[in-house]
Structure formats: structure tokens, C-alpha cells
């Protein structure tokens, strides 16, 4: 594979609730990746069957941080998020991954 598709899983309270209740898992993916590439990458890496892939481009945000020397202004870049629905009865263990 010439590019890395899966960057990291999204670990948040909302993502955890979706994974437990509806079998949806969230990942940060490459901006150039399409749904077919995301599906193939997840099936190859975790050995599960993917039913559906939804994607969203999350906008960047401006952030401020106060220090002794003044206020530092920065920006968090935009990223692409994929929400993956797995087949019934299949799970991904994101915390005990090797």
C-alpha cells in the first residue's frame, strides 16, 4: 500500500458509547482516502466484516493558550473521520491492540 489510510482510532466518550451500543467505531483517516479504501484497510488490519462506512471532514479550530510571555494563538488542523459499522456480533478491541 502506497499510503497510510488509518491514522488512529478516535477515543472519546461519544465514540465509546457508539461502539458499545450500536457497533460503530470511529477512526481518523487520511484526507485522500475513500470509503472503499477505508473498508479494505479495516478489514485487513482487524479481521472483521464492515457493513457501512460514513465519512466526515471535521473543520480545523483556532486555539489560544496563555503563557507568561503572552497569549499564543495556534490552529488545530482539519481532519477526516470515518465511522465504521461492523457486522452483527463482531467487535474491535482498540485498547489491547499489539
CATH number for the domain including 14?
3.30.70.330
The domain in which residue 62 lies consists of 6-86
Of residues 1 and 35, the one with the higher pLDDT is: 35
In tens, the pLDDT along 11-66 reads 999 999 999 999 999 999 999 999 999 999 999 999 999 999 999 999 999 999 99
Q: Is residue 97 part of a domain?
A: no
Q: Is residue 33 part of a domain?
A: yes
Nearest-angstrom CA–CA distance, 27 and 82: 5
pTM for the model stands at 0.85
Q: Is residue 94 part of a domain?
A: no
Residue written as grid cell 466526515: 56
Q: Is residue 71 part of a domain?
A: yes
Q: Is residue 93 part of a domain?
A: no
DSSP line for 30-88: -TT--HHHHHHHHHHHH---EEEEEEEEEPPEEEEEEETTEEEEEEEPPEEEEEEEEPT
Q: Is residue 53 part of a domain?
A: yes
- How many domains does the chain fold into? 1
Q: Which of 75, 74, 40, 35 is nearest to 56 (CA)?
A: 35
Amino acid at each position: 500500500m502506497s499510503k497510510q489510510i488509518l491514522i488512529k482510532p478516535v477515543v472519546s466518550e461519544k465514540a465509546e458509547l457508539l461502539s458499545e451500543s450500536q457497533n460503530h467505531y470511529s477512526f481518523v483517516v487520511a484526507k485522500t482516502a475513500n470509503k472503499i479504501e477505508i473498508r479494505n484497510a479495516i478489514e485487513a488490519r482487524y479481521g472483521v466484516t464492515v457493513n457501512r462506512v460514513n465519512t466526515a471532514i471535521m473543520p480545523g479550530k483556532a486555539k489560544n493558550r496563555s503563557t507568561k510571555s503572552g497569549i499564543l494563538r495556534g490552529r488545530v488542523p482539519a481532519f477526516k473521520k470515518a465511522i465504521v459499522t461492523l457486522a452483527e456480533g463482531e467487535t474491535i478491541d482498540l485498547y489491547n491492540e499489539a
